[in-house]
Structure 1
Amino acid sequence: MPVWERPEPQPRAAPVPLNRAKIAAAAIRVADEHGLDGLSVRKIAKELGVGPMRLYDYVVNRSELLDLMVDAVYARIAEAGPQPGWRATVLDIMHRTRAAALDHEWFADLLGARPHLGPHALAVGEATAAALSQAPAVRDIDDLQRTLGALNAFLAGALRREITERRTARATGTDLSAWQAAHGPYLQRMLATGRYPTVARLVVDGAHLDADETFRHNLTTVLDGITEREGA
Structure 2
Amino acid sequence: MPNELVWDRPEPPSKPSPTPLSRDLIVSAAIRLADEGGLDEVSLRKVAAALNAGPMRLYGYIETKDELLDLMVDEVYGEIELPPPGTGWREGLTQIAAGIRAAAKRHEWFVDLVGGRPRRGPNSLRHMEASLATLEGKPEFPTIDHVLGAVGTVMAFVHGAVRGEVTEARAERSTGMTEEQWQRASGPYIERMLATGEFPTLAKVVYDAEHTNSAAVFDIGLSYVLDGIATRHTPA
Counterpart of 2:82 in structure 1 is 80
Q: Do the aligned residues in 2 keep the contact of 1:147 with 1:227 (CA within 8 Å)?
A: no
Q: TM-score, normalised by structure 1?
A: 0.94
Report what 1:37 is aligned to. Answer: 40
Q: Provide the C-alpha distance between the structure 1 equivalents of 2:145 and 2:110, rounded to a whole number of angstroms.
A: 28
CA contact (8 A) 2:141 2:233 kept: no
- Correspondence for 2:16: 13
1:137, 1:228 within 8 Å by CA — same for their partners in 2?
Answer: no
Aligned match of 2:184 = 181
Equivalent residues of 2:172, 2:178 under 8 A apart: yes
Q: Deviations over 1:35-65 (max 9, x none)?
A: 1122111111111111111110000101110
Higher alpha-carbon deviation: 36-45 or 127-136: 127-136
Q: What is the rounded CA distance, in whole Å, between the counterparts of 1:208 and 1:16 in structure 2?
A: 52
Give the aligned partner of residue 168 of structure 2.
Answer: 165
Work out the CA distance in 2 between the residues paired with 1:38 and 1:3: 22
Residue 200 (structure 2) aligns with: 197
Residues 24 and 65, structure 1, Cα contact 8 Å, conserved in 2: yes
Q: State the AA in 2 paired with 1:221.
A: Y
Residue 30 of structure 2 corresponds to: 27
Segments ≥4 residues shifted beyond 3 Å: 134-137
Q: TM-score, length-normalised on structure 2? A: 0.92
CA distance in 1, matches of 2:83, 2:141: 23
Tell me the number of residue pairs that the alignment of Structure 1 and Structure 2 aligns: 231
Query: Hey, what's the Cα distance between the residues in 1 that align with 2:138 and 2:196?
Result: 47
Question: What secondary structure sits across from 2:14 in the alignment?
Answer: coil
CA distance in 2, matches of 1:231, 1:215: 24
| Amino acid aligned to 1:12 | K
Contact 2:76 2:103 in 1 (8 A): yes
Question: Partner residue of 2:156?
Answer: 153
The alpha-carbon deviation at position 203 of structure 1 amounts to 1.6
* Matching residue within 56, 62, 66 for 2:65: 62
Instruction: Identify which range, 108-117 or 22-31, moves more after superposition.
Output: 108-117
Once the two structures are overlaid, the 10-residue window that deviates more, 97-106 or 198-207, is 198-207
Change (3 A) 1:63 1:12: same
Indicate yes or no: 2:198 matched with 1:206: no
**Residue 227 (structure 1) shift:** 3.5
Contact 2:82 2:127 in 1 (8 A): no
Match of 1:46 in 2: 49
- SS of the residue corresponding to residue 174 of structure 1 reads coil
Tell me how far apart the structure 1 counterparts of residues 134 and 83 of structure 2 sit (CA, whole Å): 13
Q: Which whole-Å CA distance do the structure 2 matches of 1:37 and 1:227 have between them?
A: 41
Gaps of 5+ in 2: none
What letter corresponds to residue 181 of structure 1 in structure 2?
R
Gaps of 5+ in 1: none
**Conserved 8 A contact 1:191-1:197:** yes
Which position in structure 1 is the counterpart of 2:74?
A: 71
Q: Which residue identity is paired with 2:82?
A: A
AA partner of residue 80 (structure 1)? L
Report whether the alignment pairs 1:112 with 2:90. Answer: no
Identity of aligned residues (%): 48
Report the alpha carbon displacement of residue 135 of structure 1 after superposing the two structures with TM.
Answer: 5.1
| Cα drift, residue 99 of structure 1 | 0.6
